[in-house]
């Protein structure tokens, strides 16, 4: 098992090297030269702890880690920092099953991977005898930033910089980031949207002069975004865990196929489900759910990726994205590992904002279905599910649920479905409270209190007392100032 760039750099890297580097030198993303098959007797895995499932899934991707090293990583990541021993419980409702991925410290699915990435990175640094301090750059649409900060705060040998859109995250998401403690944490709002932040981070990664400057000061760059293969691989595990929980609940028999529904903007979470299918998980359809920023839905349906469109600020801000980084990895796999073809698409995207994929890729995308839910449709889904079944979901999960109901009505496909529930409803308490008919509260924190009082759903520990925490990061910068603030802080 080796890792190469999606864009043609044939220099093979060990998993440890790919995790440290984050992004390839030719601007491509690291991909495994093969996707390992996982020969798992699902029936015999019922009742197995999440950390043990994660170990089995990740082992084939990380051959440089011996069994004891990987055990230390999984044991350290998936412990009492989650508010349930199940780590990612599956809740069954009348229409679908919801995989709750938000029981970590930051109440969002990013905790599932960012709880283990620091362990993988530090182990990689030791194994590669890396002597430079690792500078982690992260662009966030709301959830990755806090999860990365929480994972890397005060971790020896690292500095972490997070950039978020000044007007594109919820009040709760922003407060989580700007109150982050840690001598090595740096948080900046940028004047722009998530795509601007992500483009700025990639530009810094590809600035050779800046890299040389940092190297001279004994620093090297890495990333906590899902462009880092060490962020993506851990996400594969929870789809296997969902399947095993369906078995345990008697919803399926071993070997039965399931559908997986994912609300996504940057494509990493659904790509992890694609990897799970390639490893042997019986998945029928991969249902990609978009909000009004429906660039992925349109691409799946017509094979044209067109970022030249209006950008919408919605009630599901973590999906307010027009440049989906992880789609590049999928295209590489579906093109027959044609790096030159992928490099051409990415050049077209950078120059013109649009590309059209080959017939080969389009025919290989038959496992995917793309659908869109507008804000009013997602909000109606929240209302219906709460009032009908007393189950509370957030605005992103609601996009997925609405798309799934539409998919099922159009196709008649009643294959059991797992919906990736990506955040606690309390992270978007003001919108969720409004959806279920509560009066408008003074702010997001008052909405948390009102929502809890009305529903009795527990408030995640990481959100309690957030209003009273001291703001430690208050700078807003322009996009072209990102490299300067990094250099200055270091």
Give the catalytic positions in this structure: 110
Query: Of 403, 109, 379, 381, nearest to 242 (Cα)?
Result: 109
Helix (H, G, I), strand (E, B) or coil at 207: coil
Q: Counting every residue, how long is the chain? A: 490
Residues 436, 432: Cα–Cα separation, whole Å: 7
Radius of gyration (C-alpha) of the chain in whole angstroms: 21
Nearest to 272 by CA among 298, 295, 240: 240
Give CA–CA dist 342/329, Å, rounded.
Answer: 9
Nearest residue to 163 via CA among 139, 193, 192: 139
Cα→Cα distances 203→30, 196, 263, Å: 17, 10, 27
CB 372, CB 294: distance < 8 Å: yes
CA-CA-CA-CA torsion sign (432, 181, 205, 478): positive
Q: 123: closest CA among 62, 33, 78?
A: 62
Residue with token string 């980084």: 325
Query: Quick one: DSSP state of residue 423?
Result: B
């Amino acid at each position: 098992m080796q890792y190469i760039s999606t864009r043609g750099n044939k220099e093979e890297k060990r998993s440890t090297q790919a995790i440290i580097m984050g992004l390839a030198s030719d601007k491509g993303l690291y991909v495994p030269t093969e996707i390992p098959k996982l020969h798992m007797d699902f029936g015999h895995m019922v009742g197995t702890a999440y950390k043990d499932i994660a170990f089995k899934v990740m082992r084939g991707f990380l051959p440089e880690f011996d069994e004891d090293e990987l055990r230390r990583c999984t044991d350290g990541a998936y412990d009492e920092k989650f508010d349930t021993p199940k780590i990612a419980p599956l809740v069954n409702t009348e229409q679908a099953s919801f995989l709750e991925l938000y029981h970590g410290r930051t109440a969002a699915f990013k905790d599932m991977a960012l709880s283990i990435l620091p362990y993988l990175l530090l182990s990689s640094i030791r194994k590669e005898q890396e002597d430079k301090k690792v500078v982690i750059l992260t662009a966030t649409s709301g959830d990755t930033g806090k999860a990365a900060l929480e994972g890397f705060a005060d971790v020896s040998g690292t500095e972490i910089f997070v950039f978020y859109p000044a007007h594109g995250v919820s009040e709760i998401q922003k407060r989580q980031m700007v109150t982050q403690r840690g001598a090595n944490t740096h948080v900046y709002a940028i004047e722009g949207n998530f795509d601007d932040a992500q483009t700025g981070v990639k530009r810094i990664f590809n600035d050779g002069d800046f890299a040389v400057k940092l190297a001279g000061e004994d620093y090297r760059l890495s990333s906590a975004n899902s462009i880092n293969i060490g962020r993506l691989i851990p996400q594969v595990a929870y789809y296997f865990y969902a399947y095993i929980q369906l078995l345990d609940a008697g919803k399926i028999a071993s070997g039965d196929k399931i559908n997986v529904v994912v609300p996504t903007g940057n494509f990493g979470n659904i790509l992890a489900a694609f990897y799970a299918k390639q490893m042997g998980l019986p998945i029928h359809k991969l249902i990609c759910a978009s909000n009004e920023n429906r660039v992925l839905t349109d691409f799946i349906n017509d094979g044209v990726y067109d970022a030249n469109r209006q950008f919408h600020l919605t009630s599901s801000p973590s999906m307010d994205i027009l440049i989906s980084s992880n789609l590049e990895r999928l295209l590489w796999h579906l093109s027959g590992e044609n790096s030159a073809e992928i490099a051409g698409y990415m050049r077209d995207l950078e120059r013109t904002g649009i590309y059209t994929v080959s017939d080969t890729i389009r025919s290989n995308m038959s496992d995917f279905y793309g659908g869109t839910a507008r804000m009013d449709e997602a909000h109606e889904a929240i209302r219906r599910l709460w009032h009908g079944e007393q189950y509370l979901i957030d605005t992103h999960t609601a996009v997925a649920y609405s798309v799934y109901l539409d998919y099922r009505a159009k196709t008649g496909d009643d294959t059991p479905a797992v919906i990736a529930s990506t955040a606690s409803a309390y992270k978007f308490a003001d919108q969720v409270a409004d959806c279920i008919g509560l009066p408008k509260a003074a702010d997001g924190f008052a909405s948390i209190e009102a929502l809890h009082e009305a529903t009795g759903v527990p408030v995640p520990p990481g959100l309690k007392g957030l209003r009273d925490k001291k703001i430690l990061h208050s700078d807003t910068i322009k996009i072209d100032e990102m490299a300067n603030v990094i250099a200055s802080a270091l």
